[in-house]
Amino acid sequence: MILKDKKIALGVTGAISAYKSLELTRLLIKQEAVVWPVMTRSAKEFITPLSLSTLARNPVSTELFELAEGSRISHIDLAQSADLVLVAPATANIIGKVANGIADDLLSTVISATTAPVLLAPSMNCRMWENPIVAENVERLKRHGYFFVGPDEGDLACGYEGRGRLSSVSDIMDAAEYALSDKDLKGEKVLVSAGPTREAIDPVRYISNASSGRMGYALAKAARRRGAEVVLISGPSSLPRPSDITFVPVVSAEEMYDACIRYYPQSTLVIMAAAVADYRPKKTYPTKMKKEATSLTLEMERTADVLKYMGNKKKDQFLVGFALETENLEENAKKKLGEKNLDLVIANSPVGLDSTLNQVTIINKDNDIEVLPPLPKDEVADRILDNVVKLKRG
């Protein structure tokens, strides 16, 4: 809950995508952030202040002097009390103004007066985004520590197709969390595996397990938010691809092994959250198997244990494994910690397999044991990474 109680000055400028700021506001409020909406005059041509203020549960401010005279909050107060200034959508105009030190309305004044992080989510025609002056302005702002999310590629409201679409609301939420987080994993190259694997019986059938991928995806996103470079190697999952990380989709245990081994040498931290199949059918039929006998026996063979291989080859990497246990949780998890040469093992029961909650026990090499209560997987991810940071710092 990084956004909980955070004061967010939400700037909305005049672009067709301004309507998406309503959904963004709804999600920020859902995360218990405090939203102070600031609309430019042209934003009001696209959505009404009433909609935005109703969702934000705060009045919308637009005029510089109206605010200064009012008893509510001055533009300087707004700039100083905000934990984050988020502009979504951000037009070429506001980007140009901020990059050139122009403060001629409430939003541009708040941005120039704030010491809080500023996150801009551009939205404009693709030709405008490609305009070298706009590109220079963006580069200049990035150099000065302004955060950007997007724009995305796709169909644009103006009829063009290209880069200029406002990022998805969920990517903007992730970027807001990124802008607000301590970067205590900066410099780390993190490899996370997630999801199940599928072992083919024939072209239309496979053996798999109930993993949703949620725990691994939460870990990958949390590591990225905390400043790490992240590679996420994922078995089949219906979850949206997290932004700003290297995403490697795989299907079988063999593909998972190959991908993990490829990224292992350059990684400094590995978290194997994938539910890799331990066995695969010895034979994969090239065509669909027809039913014949009353029963069917499939001969299975062992897959390679990725984590064990990594444990054997370990140099400076910090290795985190999961131990899914239905009995003797701590004892079995400790055994895996030793056998796979891990630095940390996360023991869990199958209850969290296809759920948004997980209940885990974190055990390190010194046998320190932390039993967490059932928590949302995002929070579990941060608690695991807190342990990693603590141990890595010694």
Quote the CA–CA distance of 340 and 316 in Å, as a whole number: 15
Helix 106-113 vs helix 92-99: angle between axes, to the nearest 10 degrees? 40
**For residue 44, what are its two tokens?**
């009001």
> What radius of gyration, in Å, describes the C-alpha atoms of the chain?
25
Query: How far apart, in Å, are the Cα atoms of 311 and each of 262, 305, 366, 368?
Result: 15, 10, 17, 20
Minimum distance between the CB of residue 80 and ligand CTP, rounded to whole angstroms?
Answer: 46
Helix 169-180 vs helix 20-30: angle between axes, to the nearest 10 degrees? 50
Quote the CA–CA distance of 353 and 237 in Å, as a whole number: 13
Element (H, E) at 121: strand 118-122
Q: Tell me if residue 126 is catalytic.
A: no
Interface positions, 315-354, toward ligand CTP (CB under 6 A): 321-324, 336
Exactly one of 1, 133, 135, 158 is catalytic; name it: 158
Q: Which string of x and - marks every residue 220-239 that binds ligand CTP (by CB under 6 A)?
A: --------------------
362 binds ligand CTP (CB under 6 A): no
Q: Which C-beta is closer to ligand CTP: that of 261 or that of 372?
A: 261
Q: Which stretch binds ligand CTP (CB under 6 A): 76-84, 199-207, 301-309, 361-369?
A: 301-309
**Binding residue for ligand CTP, selected from 153, 278, 331, 368, defined by CB under 6 A:** 278
Question: Residue for token digits 């403060």?
Answer: 103
Minimum distance between the CB of residue 113 and ligand CTP, rounded to whole angstroms?
Answer: 49
Interface positions, 258-277, toward ligand CTP (CB under 6 A): 272, 274, 276
306 binds ligand CTP (CB under 6 A): yes
Task: Tell me if 393 sits within 8 A of 320, measured CB to CB.
Answer: no
Q: Which stretch binds ligand CTP (CB under 6 A): 73-81, 91-99, 303-311, 353-361?
A: 303-311
Q: Which residues contact ligand CTP by CB under 6 A?
A: 253, 272, 274, 276, 278, 303, 305-307, 321-324, 336
The residues carrying an active-site annotation are 158
